[in-house]
Structure 1
Amino acid sequence: MTSLWRNREFNLLWTGQCLSELGNAIASLAIPLLVLTVTGSPVQAGLVGTIAQVTRLVCRLPAGLLVDRVDRRRAMLACDLLQLAAFAGLGAAVLAGRVHLAVIIAVAVVDAAGGTLFGTAEHAALRSIVPIPRLPDAVARNEARGYGVSLVGPAVGGLLFGLGAVWPFAANAVSYLASMVGVSLIRRPLQQPREGAPGGLAEGLTFVFGNPFLRTVLFIAAPLNFAVTGTIFTIIIALQGHGVAPAVIGLTETVIGAGGLIGAFAAPLLRRRLPMAVLTRAICWAATACFVVSALLTTSVAAAVPVALTLLLAPACNAALFGYQAAITPDRLQGRVVSVIFLVANSASAAAPLLAGLLVTAWSAGGAILLFAAAVAGSALVATFGRGLRDTPGLVSPASAGAAPDRPAVSTPPR
């Protein structure tokens, strides 16, 4: 089996997105700093971030439907072009001294909508450019990309903003240009030939909730993502309440991101040594135990260490789960299925910071984290006793499986 490092199409897409996500991470820090510079209001800075998050949620299902109906390459290029124009325009407004809150909000909305559509198209296209057995490895490579960028991007964004407010947005515009070049150079089609009238959103919903494996993934991922987001936010609030210096608080996300990055490098080895069901159960039970430990350490940055330890398993688990999802989902449904999974798995996370703030105010930081640990325990019970993860067959190439081009390719589990 050819290594992914020799897969020209995947490496073009991966490299372009590495630069694009770096630019996005740079801008994600620069935008709230720009709002604070223009308005002096932390509330309005938070408002821009909230609007961007709501835009991603609202666009998730329409993006999946669109990805399954249009040419994915053209959709990705259109997103990059739109986002490039938005940030180039924002940079020009900063240079001219005419940047206003409405302009920043408009750019944030365009970026959130374009990023949602591009991300859905990229995930849906993996099955067309990566051999079926290599799909988990491709997801692991993407996980490493995300964690690596999250460590480097904010620091670079702060440095560039210090040199001049225009530079982070100029850098992000250039990153989208790099992504366009990478997508344009891909030779292979990013979707299989489509026959007949395209189905609607209900077809994707039926496929997800009618499949025992995908349905189980939703019941596991939603509480787990909710708990991780809420725990991280609770730790930050608790540290701030105890008078910890902002620079030290910043180490929290660095420690957590480092855990995810190390886990991403270890993901291929873990995935090959441990079955998917074992990995999933392990991360759920480990997270439950680690969050309980974090609840006892809320006065110190050490509270982030157990969360980082949990994330050591996250990339391998995601690689196994989403690699398998890409393999069992027909190409014509990839966009809709991905959008449904991401929407359900991440919707509860949007409310986690608010709930964390309420719990810390009414109760305590330790108590809030224990509640999030209980949510993860629910995921662990589903992973342990649910039937959806049992007897999941292994991944094989379509040719060896005798599968039709638009059929899932899996091997029959031994009896």
Structure 2
Amino acid sequence: MTTTQPSGRPETAAIDASPLPPLRAQKNYRRWLMADSSALLSGGIYGFIFPLMLLAATGSPVLAGSLAALGMAARASVILAGGAMADRTDKARMIVIGSLCGAAVTAALALGIGSGSLPVPLLCLAHVLMELRGGYFGSTTNAALKDLVHPKQLGRAMAANQGRDSVLMLGSAPLGGVLLGFGGGIALLAVAVLNLFAAASGFALRRPLRAAQQSFRDRGEAGTGGEEKVAHGILAGMHWCFSRPQLRALLILITVVNIGVNGLMTALIYGLEQRSEAPWIIGLASTCMGAGMLIGSLAATSLIEKFRSGLLACNCLTLLGAAMLLIGFNTNLLWMGSMLLLSFLSVPALNAAVGGYFMACVPQDMSGRANSLITFMALAALPLAPLATGLGLEWVGMGPTLIFFGALVSLAAILAWLSPQVRGIPRPGHWVAAASPAPLERASSDGSQKSPAPASPTE
């Protein structure tokens, strides 16, 4: 199956293609940004404080790592189902329901911790429920962005989001450390409030998202040259992505990089906790990451528009892998912070190039499954990261464990340079054309073959 996207035609009804206003002037994008930012900030605080709470409750890095691995496995088990549901139902409703579920669970956790009546098994059960909630609903906001932003602005939107992400990364870990200093109940209550903000913003998006979906259905029924539909279902979405060499190569790289990065950060958090560092000191690790992303995001928009996305991704991965490999050679706080800042300079441009390319290439009726597949590939092997971290810290120490995860990221950079599919990804203006080859026959959504059809015009 292939899909084509005519240039010069709006992807959704929410944004007029001529002229295209800047993103900051688009009300629907601002609403989306509020929903996504609230969800990311709540997730950042929760992701920082909960490993420390597990470690404090169990007193064992191996057991805490095993419990974290169980939560990641639970998240990964429902990601693809959540993406398929997002393609079949109202995305705004899913944002609201997911945010309200997160608020309810974290508020209950806060109440239990505040009353001192929360045993470790219930703490672990609640964590698994939060991970299931995050897996099922977590990819919906990214899928909704494709409905609200014109294809020509996807690259710029992704680069702008990287700047936002870096600011949240700068603030979430230190804020989580400060809140944790007042007690786990207070920190979890703050997470619940942020989820309520995300629910309110998702409720405000219900009309533009429904209008966008109705416009897409109308274009498909009228045969006006809209995207070719992809059959509903998880397997149909996976087949569509893996049948394209560039997307397949990127999915493999995403998996390797996320194992390395998340494993390294978990090793840092657990290792510094074992050294009895204060929570706000541990939070500085994420602050250094956020500072690197913030500086890198200032140049991301310019870089993604000036250079071919494939070569840009290869160079960014090289910098990320080399700096992360060096972190473990010296566990001094100043050295580790400097290397984290250096390594994450490349992340905004890397995420904008890879994420924007994915979003521009997928059909609109498969945006939920495509985003969930990216997340699934990133998380599928991640349960190994905290488990390997716990074993590494107990057997060989923090330094060699950090070197191991840095080497994984360096391996991903080498694989990217060796892959012509990755190196050949063009600039954003040619993303859709590069990902939409024109075979002699195109498969319809039900698997039947259609007669040859001319390719849509490209930029």
TM-score normalised by length of structure 2:
0.76
Report SS of the residue matched to 1:188. helix
Q: Structure 1 pair 67/309, CA: closer, same or farther in 2 (3 Å)?
A: same
Q: Deviations over 1:75-106 (max 9, x none)?
A: 11111222222223333434555433344334
- Answering whether residue 330 of structure 2 is matched by residue 302 of structure 1, we say no
Q: 1:183 aligns with which of 182, 185, 202?
A: 202
Contact 2:359–2:367 (CA under 8 A) maintained in structure 1 = yes
Which amino acid in 2 is paired with 1:18?
S
Q: Deviations over 1:154-173 (max 9, x none)?
A: 33334334445433233222
Partner of 1:276: 309
Residue 330 of structure 2 aligns to a residue whose secondary structure is: coil
Cα distance in 2 between the residues matched to 1:363 and 1:45: 18
Distance 1:179 1:19 in 2: 5
Q: Does the CA-based 8 Å contact 1:227-1:373 persist in structure 2?
A: yes
Whether 2:44 is the aligned partner of 1:11: answer no
Between 1:5-14 and 1:111-120, the stretch displaced more is 111-120
- Tell me the alpha carbon deviations over residues 282-317 of structure 1, each in whole angstroms, 9 at most, x when there is no partner: 022223432443343344540342332121111111
Kept in 2: contact 1:288–1:374 (CA 8 A) = yes
Q: Is the 8 A contact 1:135 1:326 kept in 2?
A: yes
Aligned 8 A contact 1:394 1:412 in 2: no
* Corresponding position of 1:99: 118
Moved more, 215-224 or 370-379: 370-379
| Alpha-carbon separation, structure 2, partners of 1:394 and 1:411 | 15
1:260 matched to 2:279: no
Q: Over residues 129-179 of structure 1, what are the superposed CA-to-partner deviations in whole Å (9 max), with x where a residue is unaligned?
A: 011111122223333333322332233334334445433233222222211
The within-5 A match list for 1:107-118 is 107-118=126-137
Q: More displaced, 27-36 or 156-165? A: 27-36
Instruction: Give me the whole-angstrom Cα distance separating, in 2, the residues matched to 1:361 and 1:10.
Output: 47
TM-score (norm 1): 0.83
2:233 corresponding residue in structure 1: 200
Relative to structure 1, the CA distance from residue 140 to residue 106 in structure 2 (aligned partners, 3 Å threshold; closer, same or farther) is: farther
Q: Is the 8 A contact 2:321 2:343 kept in 1?
A: no
Give, in whole Å, the separation in 1 of the partners of 2:378 and 2:198: 27
Tell whether 2:364 aligns with 1:345: no
| Pairwise CA distance, 1:211 | 0.8
- Residue 20 of structure 1: aligned partner: 39
Residue type of the alignment partner of 1:88: A
Relative to structure 1, the CA distance from residue 378 to residue 158 in structure 2 (aligned partners, 3 Å threshold; closer, same or farther) is: closer
Within 5 Å, which residues of 2 pair with 1:88-237?
A: 88-163=107-182, 165-186=184-205, 187-189=207-209, 192-193=213-214, 199-234=232-267
Q: How many correspondences in the alignment?
A: 402
Name the structure 1 match of 2:351: 318
Structure 1 partner of 2:105: 86
Rounded to whole Å, the distance in 2 between the matches of 1:278 and 1:397 is: 14
Contact 1:293 1:306 in 2 (8 A): yes
- Structure 1 unaligned regions, length at least 5: 399-405
**3-state SS, counterpart of residue 307 of structure 1:** helix
Residue in 1 that maps onto 2:429? 395
Cα drift, residue 231 of structure 1:
3.6
SS in 2 for 1:395: helix
In structure 2, the residue matched to 1:49 is 68
Q: After superposition, what is the alpha-carbon deviation per residue over 1:226-255, rounded to whole angstroms, capped at 9, x for unaligned?
A: 2223344455677678x6845655533322
User: Cα 1:310–1:4, aligned 2, differ >3 Å: closer, same or farther?
Assistant: same
**Quick one: structure 1 residues 375 and 410, their matched pair in 2 at CA, closer, same or farther if it must change by over 3 Å?**
farther
1:309-350 deviations in Å (ceiling 9; x for gaps): 121111111112111211110011112222222222333343
Relative distance call for 1:5 and 1:365 in structure 2 (3 A) is: same
SS of the equivalent of 2:381 reads: helix
* Contact map agreement 1:288 1:377 (CA 8 A) in 2: yes
Contact 1:132-1:397 at 8 Å conserved across structures: no
Residue 62 of structure 1, CA deviation = 1.4
Residue 419 of structure 2 aligns to which amino acid in structure 1? G
SS of equivalent residue, structure 1 residue 68? helix
How far the C-alpha of 1:121 sits from its partner, in A, is: 0.9
- Unaligned runs of at least 5 residues, structure 2: 1-19, 221-228, 433-444, 446-454
Aligned CA distance change for structure 1 residues 314 and 209 (closer, same or farther; 3 Å): same
**Equivalent AA in structure 2 for residue 101 of structure 1:** V
Query: Which structure ranks higher in relative contact order (CA pairs < 8 Å, sequence separation ≥ 6)?
Result: 2
Q: Distance in 2 between matches of 1:197 and 1:185?
A: 28
Give yes or no for contact 1:147–1:258 (8 Å, CA) kept in 2.
yes
- What percentage of aligned pairs have identical amino acids? 26
Q: Which amino acid in the other structure matches residue 315 of structure 2?
A: A
